[in-house]
Amino acid sequence: MKRAIYPGTFDPFTNGHLDIVQRATSIFDEVIVTVAKNSTKQPLFSIEDRVEMIRESISDLPNARVDSFEGLLVDYTKRQNATIIIRGVRMISDFEFEFQMALMNRKLAEHITTVFLMPEERYTYLSSSIVREIAQLGGDCKPFVPLNIEKRLLEKYSR
């Protein structure tokens, strides 16, 4: 069984992230979308909220599930008996950072392989930080996030 981990902060989970999960579930037997606790970021949504929102967004994908973790990604990957880490790459600038991380993860755990997936072209400019800014300024996020997440963004910024 090929189990893959798709890690990220997903604050919020976008249609670009969803596209990567859909692609990954067509390749791997199981995909675990895992929300990482990142101490260098101040998230808009709690880890619990992000897990719940992603779970709702991918509920139609039977071979995908959602989890969260703290610590080294390779340690989490081992605990899940996974051998693949999925990373979405939108632009060349993403690749440089992701390539460095993939090599470091390989050094830490040589049996784990990083697979880079590109989202559909229409999502290459999309990022969670851009979505947060659009929502904060009262813009329409409907084209960029699943419906359940758009509702949560509206609730968050209407307060």
Q: Which is more confidently placed, 39 or 103?
A: 103
Q: Using CA of residue 79, residue 82, residue 87, residue 88, what is the dihedral sign?
A: negative
Mean of pLDDT values over 125-149 = 95
Out of 50, 57, 128, 132, which one is annotated catalytic? 128
Predicted local distance difference test score (pLDDT) of residue 36 = 94
128 is catalytic: yes
User: Is 151 one of the annotated active-site residues of the chain?
Assistant: no
- Among the residue ranges 56-65, 122-131, 142-151, the one predicted with the least confidence is 122-131
Question: CB 125: neighbour CB atoms within 10 A?
Answer: 11
Question: 0.85 exceeded by the pTM?
Answer: yes
pLDDT higher than threshold 70 for residue 23: yes
- pLDDT, tens only, 74-103: 999 999 999 999 999 987 777 888 899 999
Q: How many domains does the chain have?
A: 1
Q: Which of 17, 87, 132, 152 is catalytic?
A: 17
Catalytic one of 2, 37, 41, 142: 41
| 64 C-beta neighbours (distance < 10 Å), count | 22
Q: What range does the domain containing 139 cover?
A: 3-158
Dihedral sign, CA of 45, 47, 52, 53?
positive
Rounded mean pLDDT, 59-74: 96
Residue 128 confidence (pLDDT): 94
Segment 120-139 mean pLDDT: 93
Report the CATH number at residue 59: 3.40.50.620
Q: Which of 2, 11, 14 is nearest to 119 (CA)?
A: 14
Rounded mean pLDDT, 34-48? 89
Is residue 10's pLDDT more than 80?
yes
**107 is known as an active-site residue:** no
Active site residue 111: no
